[in-house]
Homo-oligomer: A and B are copies of this chain.
Amino acid sequence: MITIKDVARVAGVSPSTVSRVVRGDGKVGKKCRAEVQKILDEMGYRPNSNARALVSRKSELVGIVTPDLYRPFFGSIAHGAEKAARTYKFQVMMRNSQNDALIELDAINSFREHGCENIIVSSKFGDEETFIQLAKEIPGLIFINRYIKALANRCVWLDNIAGSRISAEYLYEQGHRDIAVVSFDTGNKDQADRIEGAKQFFKEKGVSIAPANIIFSTEKTPGKGQALFCKDAIHHLLNNGEKVTAIIAYNDEIALGLINALLDCGKRVPEDISVMGFDDLNVAENCRPQLTTIRYPIVEMAEYATKLSLQHTARNPTEIKDTHLFMPTLVKRDSVLKISR
């Protein structure tokens, strides 16, 4: 490894001068700077981040915590965060939490051990109190996909209720009055919200969703069991005696599962039953029927969250908005049919 000292020796200047040149610090003679820079380049000098972080007490690192990375939704968070970090020359550290609050905490602490104070967390199950405490200690801690009231200016989130309402409104416009909803009850606000908005909307229109058509499983992580879950949901919906012309799924993955289960039962989508997704993953566009869904601008949100974190830890922070709410939008494709009434 070639150090600042080595360069100084060759250049015939002091280490501090080299340091100044490396950092682009102003107080170096023009000629001297050019000369040192030349030697720097020739010798292929690369700063030692660890030494830097140690002495300057700041590491150019962004840490991200997501439940996993193989699901495209979370991969997109990592992707967006990396993209934003790179424009600031920050490096990205990442860790999977597997939806485990303890691992999540451990991840955050590990990042801090590395001097990383820009941390983006996608957590659904972590304890609010803990996060509030943590946020005090870590100015650059940002939550994505979660809204914690006491931490409003640290949360980059999506209005799930609005999304659900958009979904409901579109179905209503397309003539649907017999709706079903398929989601999970995991104590997670997202999932409740995505049902709530639809309920609200239809209620306002004087249409009620039959309780038997609301499937709100307590299954925590569908993952592998997802196909089975969808199958059960469809069997239940087809056999409970209530009419269904359209289903609002918690997300695109569930929507796909439901569509497959419907096909397996001899139902056509959307001719017999329409299905709405949520997220607008790539797959929504690559499957047949192409999914009508609600776009979740997750890459943009991750980029935003990263920049926001950097703002929060900047030496001269510019003014920071106190709310960071993103709005979902409707993406019309082929999984919803207009029905005449």
Task: List residues of A whose CB falls within 8 A of some B CB.
Answer: 46-51, 53-54, 59, 68-72, 74-76, 78-79, 82-83, 86, 91-96, 109-115, 227, 253, 256-257, 259-260, 263, 282-283, 285-288, 299
Contacts and interface: CB of A to CB of B under 8 A. Distances in A.
A11 to B, nearest CB: 21
A46 B109 contact: yes
A258 to B, nearest CB: 11
B288 A260 contact: yes
Interface secondary structure of A, over-half rule = helix
Q: Which of A47, A75, A282 has the most CB of B within 10 A?
A: A75
Contacts of A259: 288
B95 A93 contact: no
Q: Which of A48, A72, A114 has the most CB of B within 10 A?
A: A114
Nearest to A96: B82
Contacts of A86: 95-96
A92 B91 contact: no
A287 to B, nearest CB: 5
Given A50-B53, A93-B93, A286 B257 contact: yes
A281 to B, nearest CB: 9
Nearest to A113: B49
Contact of A70 (B48, B59, B79, B115): B79
A99 to B, nearest CB: 14
A85 to B, nearest CB: 9
A82 B69 CA distance: 9
Nearest to A80: B70
Given A69-B78, A74-B75, A82-B94, 18 more contacts: A48-B115, A50-B54, A50-B115, A51-B54, A69-B79, A70-B76, A70-B299, A71-B282, A72-B75, A79-B96, A82-B96, A86-B95, A91-B93, A91-B111, A92-B95, A256-B287, A263-B288, A287-B288
